[in-house]
């Protein structure tokens, strides 16, 4: 807990040498100050009451709702000063994730580096997913042009024309997307919500998902049209279906009677 104590005392300008982190958190005021440091005026300290448990629960709720910090600790344990050290350590790590400036503390830098590595992996995973979606859409568009080489032919379905003509647009999108760099920026931002690379990837994801939705609708319509244009020989006629049903109705009783006779013969 010493390392978090040093960090909190530094950012909140606390000079008290007898400062006890768990004890201060148990009253709720320090909790609120820490939250307000990360985002100004989220909590009005004058609205706090003498009920420490309610104050702490309010801080935990606001941290979750406004800062996306998961509820990893229980207010009653914090209020009674019995919260597990590891749980508190892990919980406060999420507060550090919102902080962009670190001192020379070795443990803090280790935590920050671990978060950066995790964020880098998340960005790589997202980029791969977006890239795969773009390639699939491009393959789909090219496949249409193979089936219908001449998109100007009046017999070509409108959906096929639109899908086939997307090839150039999708190739351009893929080319631009592949230029997106995942190189960590010099500011060492570890909050993904503020990471310019992640923000850019999210915008790409939104655009690609929108385009993917359009293409899937076209594919669905083309499949429907294909089923509707199958030759009559591939689809049983209505009278043939009725005749098949009639045969089943007439054959079934006969077979049932035959089965009864066989059973009687065996019994004899």
State pTM to two decimals.
Answer: 0.54
Instruction: Tokens 């406060």: give the residue.
Output: 92
CA–CA gap between residue 166 and residue 156 (Å, rounded)? 15
pLDDT tens column, 35-63: 999 888 899 988 898 899 999 999 999 99
Q: Express each pLDDT in 133-147 by its tens digit.
A: 999 999 999 998 898
DSSP secondary structure, 176-240, as one string? HHTT---PPPTT----GGG-HHHHHHHHHHHHHHHHHHHHHHHHHHHHHHHHHTS-GGGS--HHH
**3-state DSSP: the chain helix, strand, coil percent, rounded to 5?**
70, 0, 30
Phi-psi region of 69 (alpha: psi -120 to 50; beta: other; left: phi over 0): beta
Q: Is 182 in contact with 200 (CB distance < 8 Å)?
A: no
pLDDT tens over the chain, length 268 residues = 446 788 888 888 888 888 888 888 998 999 999 999 988 889 998 889 889 999 999 999 999 999 888 888 999 999 998 988 878 887 888 887 776 555 545 655 666 676 677 778 889 999 999 999 999 999 999 998 898 889 889 888 898 999 999 999 999 999 999 999 887 554 456 566 678 888 999 999 999 999 999 999 998 888 888 787 655 544 444 455 555 655 555 554 544 454 555 445 544 4
Query: Between the CA of residue 8 and those of 34, 96, 99, 154, 234, what are the distances in Å?
Result: 8, 10, 11, 72, 75
Residue owning tokens 């309010």: 58
Q: Which domains are delineated in the chain?
A: 4-101 (1.10.418.10), 107-229 (no CATH)
C-alpha to C-alpha distance for 181 and 206, rounded to whole angstroms: 18
> For 181-195, what is each residue's pLDDT tens digit?
887 554 456 566 678
């Amino acid at each position: 807990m010493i390392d978090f104590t040093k960090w909190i005392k530094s950012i909140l300008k606390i000079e008290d040498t007898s400062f006890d982190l768990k004890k201060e958190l148990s009253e709720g005021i320090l909790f609120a100050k820490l939250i307000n440091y990360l985002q100004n005026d989220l909590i009005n300290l004058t609205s706090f009451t003498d009920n420490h448990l309610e104050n702490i629960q309010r801080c935990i709720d606001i941290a979750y709702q406004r800062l996306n910090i998961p509820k990893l600790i229980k207010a009653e344990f914090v209020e009674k000063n019995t919260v597990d050290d590891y749980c508190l350590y892990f919980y406060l790590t999420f507060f550090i994730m919102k902080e962009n400036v670190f001192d020379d503390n070795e443990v803090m830098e280790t935590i920050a580096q671990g978060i950066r590595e995790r964020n880098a992996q998340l960005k790589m995973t997202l980029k791969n997913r977006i890239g795969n979606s773009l390639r699939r859409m491009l393959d789909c568009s090219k496949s249409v042009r193979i089936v219908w080489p001449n998109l100007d032919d009046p017999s070509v379905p409108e959906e096929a024309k639109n899908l086939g003509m997307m090839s150039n647009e999708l190739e351009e999108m893929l080319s631009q997307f592949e230029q997106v760099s995942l190189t960590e920026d010099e500011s060492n931002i570890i909050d993904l919500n503020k990471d310019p690379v992640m923000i850019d990837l999210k915008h790409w994801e939104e655009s690609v998902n929108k385009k993917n939705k359009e293409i899937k609708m076209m594919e669905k319509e083309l499949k429907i049209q294909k089923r509707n244009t199958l030759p009559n020989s591939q689809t049983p006629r209505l009278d043939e279906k009725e005749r098949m049903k009639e045969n089943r109705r007439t054959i079934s009783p006969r077979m049932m009677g035959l089965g009864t006779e066989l059973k009687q013969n065996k019994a004899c």
